[in-house]
Amino acid sequence: MRKALISVVAILVLLAGYLTLDIFDKVPGFLTRADAPRAPLASPGASGTPTSSIAPPSPSPSSTAAISTPASKITAAQVAAAVKKPLASSWLGNTTGLVIRDVNSGQTLFDQSGSTPLEPASVTKLLSAWAVSHTMSLQQRLTTKVVAGSGNQIVLVAGGDTALNPGKGDPSSVNGYAGLADLATQVATALKKAGQTSVTLAVNTSYAPGPSTVPSWDPAYLSMGYTARIAMLGLSTQRAKAGIPAVDDPVKATQTAFAKNLTAQGITITALASSGPATGATLGAVQSAPLVDVLGMALQDSDNAMIESLVRQAAFTKGVAGDDAALTAWVRDTVAASGFDVTGVKLADVCGLADGTTIPPRLLADVLQKGASGADARFEEVMSRLPVGGWNGTMDDRFLQSTNVAAAGEVRAKTGSLTGVSSLAGTVRTDSGQLLVFAIITNGPQSQGPYGARAAIDNVVAAVASL
């Protein structure tokens, strides 16, 4: 009855929006189910629109704790029967790995090529999120401050916040939570109190230093807006957006925006300097939303540069260098140190954008199981920020077809997309109320393109949701 009601309401509410998407060739035809030729995905491993606010709750009960699920009822035979037809879809690649587990019991209900190392795309971010959440406090905030330098110099000190509002901070939004206008007000007040109205503005980037890109990234990813440059300072308005080239220097752009805010407060900026000390007296400071929300936003939007930045910050606290080789090794080692079997794991970067990464679906299911069962409270909290099918983030346009719309609101997962790669890993609540974790990765030529592969994956998960 619950699923029937959800199905009717979902179809009525989503129909108008779905038909609009169909007109613009964003989804397969609603009536024919045919997958006409599509334009390429908006971006590989990234969302087209950054998150503007804290994620809304799932339409389905959002808790991932096993205590909220009934005793195990669904059998392996039932799962195998449910996924048999959708897994045989020609829209999937030639190699598909799928692992499904019951959250309550930990029982593996289905395993097809689960231990096969496959190219995962952005579901790689789940391993990085595990490493970050088990190194830094999820409640800590990223601080951007200004300190006094020598003479008339003041120094903007980077603290890892790459979603600073160029104006006033917005406490209702993760993106732009802390504002440069608020910081400028504090600093201008302190300067005027000291009788100082003319300064040189320097910047300090000694916190978690490293290169602005990953060596193996295709330069086109930056020029086409698939990712921003990796930095420890950045503006909420300059995060990656498909079709808009990445800003050449996020730190300089932030420094310039802050200078404009100071000028508006009556402070004259005589020059901008590229470096300055971070040790002077604090003149003002602003803080980001809690790390769990920042990490959640990066996962919801599949923000490659933000994940790279957060991993670099976490590794920095352990004395690890900020280059790609050091960071990928650190993530793998941190996951292994948590007791997971990392056989078959090879990381080319920590966000899943670079070619050459391999992860077996089994490991993703292992990590998700820990969080969804409540066995690991930290990752349970992180998982509660994953996007919901048909609802938000990179899942806002998923589960909208007639073959899978009944699962809208029941799936909370991380998406992944690269050329010849589609993936999805998260939790699904079944029609009987049982919570399951799943990880599916398909590699190889996709006969109906990336949108066809996504639809086929959604059909597999929807079949499980119907149990």
| C-alpha closest to that of 460 among 417, 434, 423 | 423
Q: If you ran DSSP here, which 8-state letter would residue 200 be given?
A: E
Q: How far apart are CA 88 and CA 442, in angstroms?
A: 12
Phi, psi of 196 (to 5 degrees): -115, 125
The proportion of the chain whose per-residue pLDDT surpasses 90, expressed as a percent, equals 84
Q: How far apart are CA 423 and CA 404, in angstroms?
A: 16
Domain boundary assignment for the chain: 2-136+312-465, 143-289
The model's confidence at residue 278, banded by pLDDT at 50, 70 and 90, is very high
Q: If you ran DSSP here, which 8-state letter would residue 27 be given?
A: S
In tens, the pLDDT along 313-323 reads: 999 999 999 99
The model's confidence at residue 238, banded by pLDDT at 50, 70 and 90, is very high
Phi, psi of 224 (to 5 degrees): -95, 0
Q: Kind and range of the H or E element at 270?
A: strand 268-272
Q: How far apart are CA 42 and CA 22, in angstroms?
A: 15
Phi, psi of 103 (to 5 degrees): -65, -40
271 three-class SS: strand
More confident residue, 383 or 36: 383
In tens, the pLDDT along 322-350 reads: 999 999 999 999 999 999 999 999 999 99
Q: How far apart are CA 349 and CA 354, in angstroms?
A: 6
- Position 72 scores a pLDDT of 53
Give me the helix-helix angle, 125-133 and 324-337, nearest 10°.
Answer: 70
Cross-strand bridge partners of residue 415 = 424
- Tell me the two tokens of residue 338: 């948590």
- CATH pick for 2-136+312-465 out of 3.40.710.10, 2.60.40.10, 3.40.50.2000, 3.30.70.141: 3.40.710.10
The pTM for the full model equals 0.87
Q: How far apart are CA 189 and CA 203, in angstroms?
A: 20
Q: How far is CA 392 from CA 9, 55, 382, 412, in A?
A: 18, 7, 16, 10
What's the sign of the alpha-carbon dihedral 429, 108, 344, 112?
negative
Q: If you average pLDDT over every residue of the chain, what do you get? A: 88
Averaged pLDDT, 21-46: 30
Does 9 have pLDDT greater than 60? no
- Position 15 scores a pLDDT of 39
Maximum CA extent, the chain: 77
More confident residue, 78 or 59: 78
The proportion of the chain whose per-residue pLDDT surpasses 70, expressed as a percent, equals 85
**If you count them, how many residues does the chain have?**
467
Pairing of strands 161-164, 233-235: parallel
In tens, the pLDDT along 124-145 reads: 999 999 999 999 999 999 999 9
Number of C-alpha atoms within 13 angstroms, CB side, residue 304?
31
User: Which segment of 49-58, 297-306, 425-434 scores lowest on mean pLDDT?
Assistant: 49-58
Q: How far is CA 302 from CA 71, 351, 407, in A?
A: 34, 8, 22
Q: How far is CA 258 from CA 152, 445, 467, in A?
A: 17, 47, 54
